[in-house]
Structure 1
Amino acid sequence: MFNVMASQRLILISMSTLVWFLMQAAPCSAFTVNCSEPNQPALLKALTPLFNLSSIRPVMNTSTSTNVNISFIIYGILGVDEKSQLLMTYLWLNYRWMNEFVTWDPTQCGSDRIALPRNKFWVPDIVINEFMDENTAPEVPYVYLHSDGLVRDALPAKVVSSCNLDIYTFPFDVQNCTFTFNSYLHYASDIKIFLHRTVQSITERSKNVMTTMGEWELLDITFHDYLDKHGAEYIDELAFHIRVRRRATLYVVNLLIPSCFLITVDLFSFLLPPQSVDRSSFKMTLILGYTVFLLIMNDLLPITGNTIPLINVFFSLCLALMVASLLETILITNLLCGSVKDSPVPHWIQVLVLQILGFLVFLPRKAKNSDMEQNVAVIKLDAVVGPLREKGPVVEDRVVQELRSLATDLRALRLQVEQQRLDGNQSSEDWIQCCLLKVKPSKLLFIFIFLLMHAGSSSSMLNCSEPNTPSLLEALKPVFKLNSIRPVMNLSTVTNVSISFTLFAILGVDEKAQIFKTFIWQSLRWRNEFVSWDPEQCGTFRISVPRKLLWVPDVVINEL
């Protein structure tokens, strides 16, 4: 009998566990599309309810993260702007993620995939952090939807990204630029980013299909994945490091070889006869020609504020040597032409320079006035601090006595409070009234004032039929119809907008036009009084929707 009851109890526990599991798994399952005919029009008609859910992330439970697989191909390196610290590339981006709202039978619908417009689906807000300009690549309006819910998106992008360039070894420099992919708004609990192909495959395919083979050459691509902390949340980021090398042949032919030719001609100018003035005029012509060469070369050399390239140091030394050779020529010509007219150096000048000044050079260094003042200050400081050091124990004993007295008073006060608490004859209200402060709380008055303060600003509570995102989206439709007005119940209520921004790059300063070019990430926060919901009833405490469905404050930068 006991075994029968135990077995029945075990069966009941197993059935209850199975029912609970099915109830938990039911909201997270995708609905199957039924096609009337195995063709594209029937499949499109069956997918029509799915298009109404394009405003939310395609998961039944918001605690489920959407895994986005990323890969790209570099089609061309368009150029590098050393002055603005920008790298210009042309990419083909590939994104893959799962849509939990839809599946279908390929045999029943006649196809295992279909190409549909991008605006009919939710698309992850994956951006490149270093992106510094608008995308001027052609627009691809379609994405592929597979029968198992896989969404595949591919689009071209002209990426103008910031890159910290090190041009110390110009023109033989190798630059390392970074592409950081992450979600603009969603945290790691919502969107996780993974690498779809290996970096070796991305590098090989990029080298094979690269069409723009100009000044820069692609060496390799590496990556690492990490979480960027933003307060209590994390943002999943995938960073690619792209190493490119400059082809230095053009700069060697146009810059280094002509400069070496001019220095060689300047050295051979010493073979000219020093008695004539032809050598000086020839060197002056070389210096003027080299100055013009530097002005022309200024447009080719990179300009940066971090380091000075070695090639600039080389050109400066060449110019300094040419000026030194000109001064030497002038000195030699002056000595040769004016030695007959000049008298020999007087004896007293030789004695002054060689004996007196030479003896003065080796004299010991005298103590400076600042050192003497410092020594006097140290002596005065010792004279002041000495008596204080002697009185130190006395002051310390006085402080200890004060602390002990204060501790005795606090101990006596604590004993008195405990005695009053243990005494049952005197109530707590009598104990409070015997003190200086008389407290008479009124709970009803407090509740009445609280209701008056919050009556005008209360928001409408949403009711969700199920704890999932589709039911929450359905409950939010009346709120979306009010996106044309400011979200306050009373027009006299002010909408407080909190603003913060991150300065990502300083693109440049145009002094002539008085323009300052920057790239910032702006963040706005405000409260919508038209909506509120119970997180337990709706299954989540937040949801991401398109910006066009809500009222957005018209906060602008006046100097834009």
Structure 2
Amino acid sequence: MTRGTTAWLLLLCFPLLQALNCSSPTPDALFAALEQEVFSRNLLRPVRSFSHSMDISIDVTVSGILGVDEQVQSLTTLLWQVLEWDIEGLSWDEKECGTKRVSIPRDKLWIPDVRIAEFMDEDNSPETSYVHLSNSGRVFDGKPVRVVSSCRLEIYTFPFDIQRCSLTFGSYLHFAREMKMIQSSPAADVLDRSRSWIKTQGEWELTGIEAAETTRETDIGSYSEITYQVVLKRRPLLYVVNLLIPSCFLITVDLFSFMLPPDSVDRSSFKMTLILGYTVFLLIMNDLLPVTGETTPLINVFFCISLALMVASLLETVFITNIQFSSSQYGPVPNWVAVLVLKYIAIVVCLPPKKDNRITVSIHPPTQAVIASIISSKALQSDAPPEKPLLDVNLDELRKLSRDLTAIRLQMDKHFQGGEASQDWQMVGTVIDRLLFCLYIVFISASFITIICIWILNNV
């Protein structure tokens, strides 16, 4: 069978291949012809044969970003959706029928069942009652669509996160061999048009749109789809001003609190007040933090580290204060502690090592020879010969004086040793306080630099 014969058979079998005949160039005549040839077949896919595939052209414009819900993992957007398809064989002469394009009630034509696969809620956008039909048989269906779609949100780098949400357009009933989805405009044009049309973005900025024609395979057949990937970037200024900067200020105040004397009770009370204030700050700002059960945002880690550092700083102050105030109850500083802390660590933390300024005073008890010499000198100085009772009395007095001097010497030695031990312990506390302060600075710097690097690397 030749190609010409096939064409004639198609003309005989399918009346839609013939142009509409309008009795006059009036709307009544055109609608009467459409009623007879088109409207009566609105339940059927407008093709010449069931084996023919229809091309559904789709174009999307993002006109608003209404919100992102991290808890339910959803994105709410307002789209302008345009579908175009051809009614095979339908045409009319513009001069004969009086117009090139006419609006038709939606229920008079067959409408493709194009849906968004990620829909999570009912479409509450205004309904459009009409579509446009051109004299070439091309149907133009444009309408607003409020989309509440599921989106896997990655909030690890909040508030510097970038979200990629997909909107997949396709038929839920017709296979790819019956209906094929075709992208009408390139993704770059869709992005430029969306940026010029967009009316509301809130805290989100539209940074990119990607599109791809895909085929979804199932057990019963394959479906033609077009996937638009919307790339959104959060505006972090609100969270930086309300969360990060105040938290950094409080950490800085806690850092400078180490400049208070370690033996001052005001230092620990000041740190306790600071921790209380930081806790109240986190409770007030809790509503600004995203809530999700999958990923812990990095900013939550930042807050936990900040609070942990403040608590560690308070515990360090309690430890140093205990050394400063309770040193009189301790014994002498062990030799290894004195060497390690007062000699080596003191140099590391830029404190002068302790010098030995002790002065040894020794009071020896008078011996018997000294006592005898004293008695002899007294006897020589006297005209009368020494009497034995007087000598015994003097010996008793001298022995009592020796015992008293010995007791005084022991008390003095104990006093000096206790004061020296207290000073050593206080010096140990000062050196340890300076060491922990240096470690505090190193840990804060390392933690914050690591968090900042993660934020930067995830946004490159």
TM-score, normalised via structure 1 length = 0.57
Among 66, 71, 80, the alignment partner of 1:78 is 66
1:52-106 deviations in whole A, cap 9, x for unaligned? 2111111121111111000011111111111111111110000000112632111
Superposition pairs of residues 26-37 of structure 1, within 5 angstroms = 26-28=12-14, 29-37=16-24
- The AA in structure 2 aligned to 1:32 is A
- The AA in structure 1 aligned to 2:229 is H
Q: Distance in 1 between matches of 2:81 and 2:334?
A: 85
Q: Distance in 2 between matches of 1:26 and 1:232?
A: 35
For these two proteins, the number of residue pairs brought into alignment is 335
Q: Distance in 2 between matches of 1:165 and 1:128?
A: 18
| Structure 1 residue ranges without an equivalent (≥5) | 1-12, 351-560
1:473 corresponds to: none
Q: Distance in 2 between matches of 1:306 and 1:275?
A: 46
SS at the partner of 2:91?
strand
Q: Distance in 1 between matches of 2:196 and 2:329?
A: 78
Q: Distance in 1 between matches of 2:82 and 2:5?
A: 41
Q: Distance in 1 between matches of 2:321 and 2:106?
A: 82
Superposition pairs of residues 123-522 of structure 1, within 5 angstroms = 123-344=111-332
In the alignment, does 2:8 pair up with 1:39?
no
**1:139 CA drift (Å):** 1.3
- The AA in structure 1 aligned to 2:251 is I
1:463-498 deviations in whole A, cap 9, x for unaligned? xxxxxxxxxxxxxxxxxxxxxxxxxxxxxxxxxxxx
- The AA in structure 1 aligned to 2:191 is T
Percentage identity across aligned positions? 50
CA distance 1:31–1:24, change in 2 (3 Å): closer
Question: Retained in 1: the 8 A contact 2:11–2:18?
Answer: no
Among 33, 42, 48, the alignment partner of 2:35 is 48
- The AA in structure 2 aligned to 1:143 is V
CA distance 1:78–1:189, change in 2 (3 Å): same
**1:345 CA drift (Å):** 7.5
1:67 corresponds to: 55
**1:20 CA drift (Å):** 5.0
SS at the partner of 1:52?
helix
SS at the partner of 1:244?
strand
Question: Retained in 2: the 8 A contact 1:27–1:61?
Answer: no
**1:318 CA drift (Å):** 0.5
SS at the partner of 2:192?
helix
Question: Retained in 1: the 8 A contact 2:263–2:321?
Answer: yes
- The AA in structure 1 aligned to 2:148 is V
Q: Distance in 2 between matches of 1:77 and 1:113?
A: 33
**1:305 CA drift (Å):** 3.2
**1:213 CA drift (Å):** 3.4
TM-score, normalised via structure 2 length = 0.69
1:389 corresponds to: none
Question: Retained in 2: the 8 A contact 1:118–1:142?
Answer: yes
Q: Distance in 1 between matches of 2:66 and 2:181?
A: 27
Richer in helix (by share): 2
**1:183 CA drift (Å):** 0.2
Among 68, 77, 82, the alignment partner of 1:94 is 82
- The AA in structure 1 aligned to 2:49 is N
**1:272 CA drift (Å):** 2.4
- Which stretch of the first structure deviates more once superposed, 28-37 or 202-211? 28-37
1:513 corresponds to: none
Question: Retained in 2: the 8 A contact 1:135–1:157?
Answer: yes
1:96-119 deviations in whole A, cap 9, x for unaligned? 001126321111010011101111
In the alignment, does 2:8 pair up with 1:22?
yes
CA distance 1:197–1:20, change in 2 (3 Å): closer
1:183-236 deviations in whole A, cap 9, x for unaligned? 011100111000111111111010011111321111111111121112252100
